[in-house]
Amino acid sequence: MAHARVSTADILKNDMTGLLADWMSELRARSDNRISGSDVEAQATDLLKLIATASETNADVGSADWGAVRALLDDVSRTRAQQGFSAQETATFVFSLKKPLFGRIRRATEKDPAALAEETWAATELVDALAMHTVKAFQKSREDVILRQQEEMLELSTPVVKLWNGIIALPMIGTLDSARTQIVMESLLQRIVEIGAEIAIIDITGVPTVDTLVAQHLLKTVTAIRLMGADCIISGIRPQIAQTIVHLGVELHGVTTKATLADALAVALERTGQSISKVQPS
Amino acid sequence: MERIPILRMGDFLLVTIQVDMHDRLARTLQDDLTSQIERTGAKGVLIDISGLEMVDSFIGRMIANTSAMSRLLDANTVLVGMRPAVAITLVELGLSLAGVDTALDVERGMKLLRARLAPSSRNGRHQV
């Protein structure tokens, strides 16, 4: 095995320019206009140099000696993911190294079939491990994007607005699940404390469907608001939603409900002893 | 022994819980509060729990019970200043404290109690 390792490393060390040229022609055959040839060449050169250094000491891609190689591959995958490449295209960047590398191994071990098989196997394992790492990194960067978007969506969909003195409103948009209800509840209760709001209006115009679970979440929020010492009004109940709630047998008693946000605001103003009036034309 | 102070303000008693409650402290408070209501003939009790950061089911039940006891002794109880985290915990524990009046802070709680005690006024809107 010791012999095999040295040989792949030898090829990399002694014939890097030739290998790079062959690899680049492989890459160019698959190139498209999303990334420039010079960028690819720079990445390929860096990668070959780092692999050459790392493979001198150690053949295990997971080891610390290969840290620089893995970091470079992480970087390549991340930029490819951002540029809109698919996982396959990103992995091909590494896999296309196989052909030029195997060709050189064959030439170097022409007289010894056993050595040829051994060298080829070692090189395959190496390239596969690198490609696997690339795909993993690619997937991770995609998952990070999805996660970030989910968080942004949560933040976007739960703004608590101050409507009037002591009156806040939460226009709810999208489906309510447990995780979202928790965040909605927390941000709403927090704002009640900050503003000292006496009345909180939850507007569910943007909630597409209400099932028993959603109703239960709503009731929990209402109860928590009451425990804090504020009042809660639910507004924006569409006719279909009203029918669903009744058909489901959900009891919303003790909760003030209104059809529109305007009605809810009117009730809230009345309860807090405030009023809005038209200015008399002078 | 550690005790939670009960202050008298006119017709009302003010209990401010500033430390985290443990079970014995809660029991002592119940004893103290009921005997104070009896001795002073207080008409209203304000329990300020703005300093309370954690509740468990026992403390939650104790708050509900204390309020029920005060009502038996003819004193309205208002729970004020509950923190969001505490409210969420109580709801998740299934303790909705039905029948306990609540207010955002001591000032609003006091206003609510006064409204309750004023003979002409109807029942306050916070009652469930």
**Best CA proximity match to B77, nearest among B89, B86, B65:** B65
Question: Smallest CA–CA separation between A235 and chain B, in Å?
Answer: 19
A224/B88 Cβ within 8 A: yes
Q: What is the mean pLDDT of residues A219-226?
A: 90
Instruction: Kindly state whether residue A142 falls inside one of the protein's structural domains.
Output: yes
A225/B105 Cβ within 8 A: no
**Best CA proximity match to B82, nearest among B57, B102, B111:** B102
pLDDT at A228 (0 to 100)? 92
Nearest residue in B to A191, CA atom: B84
Does A263 score more than 90 pLDDT? yes
Cα dist. A85→A43, A77, A91, A133, B107 in Å? 16, 9, 10, 16, 62
pLDDT at B120 (0 to 100)? 52
ipTM of the complex: 0.79
CATH code, domain with A71: 1.10.490
Instruction: Kindly state whether residue B27 falls inside one of the protein's structural domains.
Output: yes
Q: What is the mean pLDDT of residues A203-218?
A: 85
Q: Which domain holds residue A12?
A: 2-150
Tokens in use for B62? 């104790």
Q: What are phi and psi of A257, to 5 degrees?
A: -125, 145
pLDDT at A4 (0 to 100)? 43
Q: What is the mean pLDDT of residues A211-232?
A: 88
A254/B104 Cβ within 8 A: no
CATH code, domain with B85: 3.30.750.24
CA distance A158 to A76: 36
Beta strand A231-235 with A256-257 is parallel
pLDDT at A5 (0 to 100)? 46
User: Mean pLDDT score of chain A, rounded to an integer?
Assistant: 85
Reported as a pLDDT band with limits 50, 70 and 90, residue A214 is confident
**Which residue from B82, B96, B128 is facing A228, i.e. has the nearest CB?**
B82
Instruction: Kindly state whether residue B84 falls inside one of the protein's structural domains.
Output: yes
3-state secondary structure string, A211-246? CHHHHHHHHHHHHHHHHHCCEEEEECCCHHHHHHHH
Instruction: Kindly state whether residue A76 falls inside one of the protein's structural domains.
Output: yes
**Which residue from B91, B105, B108 is facing A223, i.e. has the nearest CB?**
B91
**Which residue from A186, A196, A198 is facing B84, i.e. has the nearest CB?**
A186
B88/A189 Cβ within 8 A: yes
A32-85 pLDDT, tens digit per residue, is: 667 777 888 888 888 888 888 887 777 777 788 888 888 888 888 888 888 888
Reported as a pLDDT band with limits 50, 70 and 90, residue A198 is very high
Q: A251 and A141, same structural domain?
A: no
State whether residue B102 sits within 8 Å of chain A by CB.
Answer: yes
Low-confidence ranges of chain B (pLDDT < 70): 1, 119-128
Burial of A276 (0-12, 13-18, 19+ CB in 10 A): exposed
Reported as a pLDDT band with limits 50, 70 and 90, residue A282 is confident
Q: A137 and A13, same structural domain?
A: yes
Instruction: Kindly state whether residue B127 falls inside one of the protein's structural domains.
Output: no
For residue A64, give the DSSP letter: G
B126 to chain A: which residues are within 8 Å by CB?
226, 229, 231
pLDDT at A157 (0 to 100)? 67
Q: DSSP per residue over chain B, as a string?
A: -----EEEETTEEEEE--S---HHHHHHHHHHHHHHHHHHT-SEEEEE-TT-----HHHHHHHHHHHHHHHHTT-EEEEE---HHHHHHHHHTT---TT-EEESSHHHHHHHHHHHHSTTS---TT--
Instruction: Kindly state whether residue B83 falls inside one of the protein's structural domains.
Output: yes
CA distance A3 to A119: 9
Q: A144 and A192, same structural domain?
A: no
Rg (CA), chain B: 14
- What total number of domains does chain A contain? 2
A120-178 pLDDT, tens digit per residue, is: 888 888 889 889 999 999 889 889 888 998 888 777 767 889 999 999 999 988 877 77
Q: A105 and A165, same structural domain?
A: no
Instruction: Kindly state whether residue A179 falls inside one of the protein's structural domains.
Output: yes
Instruction: Kindly state whether residue A276 falls inside one of the protein's structural domains.
Output: no
For residue A65, give the DSSP letter: G
Contacting residues for A148 by C-beta, under 8 A, at least 6 apart? none
CATH code, domain with A200: 3.30.750.24
A224/B104 Cβ within 8 A: no
Reported as a pLDDT band with limits 50, 70 and 90, residue A107 is confident
Contacting residues for A71 by C-beta, under 8 A, at least 6 apart? none
Tokens in use for A130? 């690198």
Q: A102 and A81, same structural domain?
A: yes
Task: Out of A114, A131, A150, pick the residue that ends a domain.
Answer: A150
Cα dist. B12→A131, A231, B33 in Å? 75, 24, 12
Q: A89 and A36, same structural domain?
A: yes
State whether residue B80 sits within 8 Å of chain A by CB.
Answer: yes
Q: A14 and A122, same structural domain?
A: yes
Tokens in use for A260? 């529109």
Does A113 score more than 50 pLDDT? yes
pLDDT at B1 (0 to 100)? 64
Question: Smallest CA–CA separation between A226 and chain B, in Å?
Answer: 7
B92 to chain A: which residues are within 8 Å by CB?
220
**Contact predicate A269/A275, CB 8 Å:** yes
A229/B102 Cβ within 8 A: yes
Instruction: Kindly state whether residue B126 falls inside one of the protein's structural domains.
Output: no
C-beta neighbour count of A250 within 10 angstroms? 16
Q: What are phi and psi of A133, to 5 degrees?
A: -65, -40
Instruction: Kindly state whether residue A155 falls inside one of the protein's structural domains.
Output: no
**Residue given tokens 């051994």 in the structure block:** A118
B67-86 pLDDT, tens digit per residue, is: 888 888 989 899 999 999 99
Q: DSSP per residue over A124-179, as a string?
A: HHHHHHHHHHHHHHHHHHHHHHHHHHHHHHHHHT---EEEETTEEEEEEES---HH
Q: A143 and A78, same structural domain?
A: yes
Does A194 score more than 80 pLDDT? yes
Q: A170 and A142, same structural domain?
A: no
Reported as a pLDDT band with limits 50, 70 and 90, residue A210 is confident
Instruction: Kindly state whether residue A33 falls inside one of the protein's structural domains.
Output: yes
pLDDT at A126 (0 to 100)? 87
B126/A228 Cβ within 8 A: no
Nearest residue in A to B94, CA atom: A220
Q: A138 and A68, same structural domain?
A: yes
**Best CA proximity match to A211, nearest among A183, A257, A185, A178:** A178
Q: Which domain holds residue B92?
A: 6-117
B104 to chain A: which residues are within 8 Å by CB?
192-193, 196-198, 228-230
Contacting residues for B25 by C-beta, under 8 A, at least 6 apart? B2, B3, B4, B19
- What total number of domains does chain B contain? 1
Nearest residue in A to B85, CA atom: A186
Instruction: Kindly state whether residue B125 falls inside one of the protein's structural domains.
Output: no
State whether residue B60 sits within 8 Å of chain A by CB.
Answer: no
Q: How many CA atoms lie within 13 A of A43 on its CB side?
A: 23
B105 to chain A: which residues are within 8 Å by CB?
196, 229
Instruction: Kindly state whether residue B79 falls inside one of the protein's structural domains.
Output: yes
Reported as a pLDDT band with limits 50, 70 and 90, residue A2 is very low
A223/B108 Cβ within 8 A: no
Coil, helix or strand for A276? coil
State whether residue B109 sits within 8 Å of chain A by CB.
Answer: yes
Instruction: Kindly state whether residue A279 falls inside one of the protein's structural domains.
Output: no
Instruction: Kindly state whether residue B124 falls inside one of the protein's structural domains.
Output: no
Q: A83 and A172, same structural domain?
A: no
Q: A231 and A264, same structural domain?
A: yes
Instruction: Kindly state whether residue A280 falls inside one of the protein's structural domains.
Output: no
